[in-house]
Structure 1
Amino acid sequence: MDDLTGFQRDLLYVISGADQPSGQDVKEEIEGYYSAEINHGRLYPNLDTLVNKEFVEKGQLDRRTNYYEISDDGLREIEDRREWERQYVDV
């Protein structure tokens, strides 16, 4: 996960906590966290990066709507990140 941006990491966390969210679902959730509008030109290329790195799987709900789902590799990356964080933050 060390080669992901913070935004990509946040997208990965949002996707892992949802049940096959659409891109719009991810957008709404991430906008709530960032308290700012996220445009499509930022969102979808970053989602595609996560798909290309095989951290996220992309499927089709209908002809216009895709969904995203965390992959086993994506879950492993999150677990590795949390383990790394624990050595610095003991909560």
Structure 2
Amino acid sequence: MFISLFASFPTAKFIVERVTCNQRKDADEWDVAVRWRLQGIHEGIGYFGRPSNKPIKILGINHVRVRNEKIVEEWMAFDGMDVLKQIHTNAENTSSD
């Protein structure tokens, strides 16, 4: 999934905005949350289909459970519908953020 996602935006910047770690009580486990942003041009074939050459911004978060210094679980969330809206919106109808 990551390969296909990044293939859609081959020259994009991946920016980590915040990392939070909490150790689980009575265990050698950590819960880690990573808030990130991907900014670039939809210029590759991948998760979001044929290139549109539109500027895209994806806001996302990953939650990771680490045990004995190894990732044992991971969840990733981002709004794919928002990305599709950015891809399929006409340039004259977009607003700057």
Task: Considering Cα pairs closer than 8 Å and 6+ residues apart, tell me whether 1 or 2 has the greater RCO.
Answer: 1
Structure number with greater Rg is 2
TM score, norm. by length of structure 2? 0.28
Larger proportion of helix: 1
Normalised TM-score (structure 1): 0.29
Between Structure 1 and Structure 2, the one with more strand by share is 2
